[in-house]
Amino acid sequence: MRARPGRVTIYDVATRAGVSISTVSLAVSAPHRVRPETRERIVAAATALFGRVGFNSATMLEIAQVCEISRAGLAHHFPTKESLMEAVLETRDREDRERFRRNGSRGQDGIGILRGMVDLARHNTEVGGIIALYAVLSAEAADPSHPAHEYFVRRYQRIR
C-alpha cells in the first residue's frame, strides 16, 4: 500500500528519528507506559549477553532471567529478539554519537576529531561487552539473512 502524498508514515518517522520501525511502532502502540529504567536494564543485559554468546545463541528467556522479569514482561518491552537487538544497536550508536559530540567536536580541526575518536575508542574498551558485541554481531551479520545485516551495511557505509 502506497502512502498518500503529504501523509507521514511510520517509516518516515523512524527514518527521521534514526530508529527502527519497531521502536516507533512500540512507542505509538504500547498500551501503557514503558518504564525507562526497566527498558535500560533489559538493553544492558542484552548488550552483555549478545556480546558474550552472540545474537543467534542468546535467548529471550536468558535475558528475562538476568533482568529478573518474566518472559511475558520482556515481551511487553520488546516483542521480538530482533526488536531488542535493534534497541541495543540504536542505544550504543546514540551514546557513542553523544559522547563524540561532547568530546570530539571541541575543535573542528583534524586534531580535535582524532582526539574525539581516541576518546570514544578508549571509552568503548572500558564498557563491558561493547567491543565483543560489535565483533560478534558484525560477524554474524555477514550472512544476508541475519536481521542485523542491513544495519551493519549502512553503518560501515556511513563511517567510511
CA 88 to chain centre: 3
pLDDT tens for each residue of 119-140: 888 888 887 677 888 888 889 8
Nearest residue to 30 via CA among 83, 100, 103, 66: 83
Whether 61 contacts 71, CB under 8 Å: yes
Q: Which is higher by pLDDT, 59 or 108?
A: 59
Alpha-helical runs (H) found in the chain: 10-17, 21-29, 36-53, 60-67, 71-77, 81-104, 110-126, 130-140, 149-159
Domain residue limits, the chain = 1-31, 34-159
Which pLDDT score is estimated for 1? 47
Cα 149-17-124 angle, rounded to 5 deg: 60
pLDDT at 80: 93
Average pLDDT over residues 54-81: 93
The class (CATH top level) of 34-159 is: mainly alpha
Q: Where are the alpha helices (DSSP H) in 56-109?
A: 60-67, 71-77, 81-104
Predicted confidence (pLDDT) at residue 65 exceeds the cutoff of 90? yes
pLDDT of res. 63: 96
pLDDT of residue 34 exceeding 60, the answer is no
